[in-house]
């Protein structure tokens, strides 16, 4: 094993935590735009308790939980499913290819969250802290 590979292997769990935190921050941002118009206005108002409203609520709560790494696997499961639904309901009907239908982010989020279901939260998380306290 090379020194580089050894160093990369040592950092792998921490970088998993960084991936989870960044994905959570970006996911949270989508919900905040839809429900609160922050940091920019959403093009169309979201009706209360509509499908888009529930998606935004999942993005806000799920994003916040992913950032702190609490219930990570369950949140990733729900969020991955949400993004699969978002792609097939909101993007796929527009065109076959993701580059044409604007669904690239939905697919990427779906598979990042899918990975987190199996990889877990990483060491920088409340889940990891809870596991060591038990």
The first and second tokens of residue 56, run together, are 């935004």
- The separation between the first and the last C-alpha atoms of the chain, rounded to the nearest angstrom, is 35
The reported pLDDT for the residue numbered 134 is 75
pLDDT in tens, 73-116: 999 999 999 999 999 999 999 999 999 999 999 999 999 999 99
The band of 1, judged by pLDDT with boundaries at 50, 70 and 90, is: confident
CB atoms within 10 A of CB 134: 5
Q: Is 125 left (phi over 0), alpha (psi -120 to 50) or beta?
A: beta
Task: Answer whether 96's CB lies under 8 Å from 54's CB.
Answer: no
The band of 68, judged by pLDDT with boundaries at 50, 70 and 90, is: very high
The reported pLDDT for the residue numbered 100 is 97
The band of 70, judged by pLDDT with boundaries at 50, 70 and 90, is: very high
State percent of the chain over pLDDT 90.
97
Sign of CA dihedral 14, 16, 21, 22: positive
pLDDT in tens, 43-63: 999 999 999 999 999 999 999
User: Mean pLDDT throughout 5-21?
Assistant: 97
Dist. CA 36–CA 126, nearest whole Å = 27
pLDDT in tens, 25-48: 999 999 999 999 999 999 999 999
């Amino acid at each position: 094993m090379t020194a580089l590979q050894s160093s990369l292997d040592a950092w792998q769990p921490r970088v998993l935590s960084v991936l989870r935190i960044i994905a959570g921050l970006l996911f949270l941002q989508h919900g905040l735009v839809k429900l609160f118009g922050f940091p920019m206005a959403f093009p169309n108002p979201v009706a209360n308790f509509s499908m888009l409203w529930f998606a935004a609520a999942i993005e806000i709560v799920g994003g916040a939980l992913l950032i702190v790494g609490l219930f990570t696997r369950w949140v990733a499961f729900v969020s991955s499913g949400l993004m699969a639904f978002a792609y097939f309901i909101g993007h796929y009907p527009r065109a076959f290819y993701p580059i044409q239908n604007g669904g690239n982010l939905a697919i990427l989020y779906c598979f990042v969250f899918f990975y987190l279901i199996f990889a877990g939260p990483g060491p920088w998380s409340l889940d990891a802290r809870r596991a060591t306290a038990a």
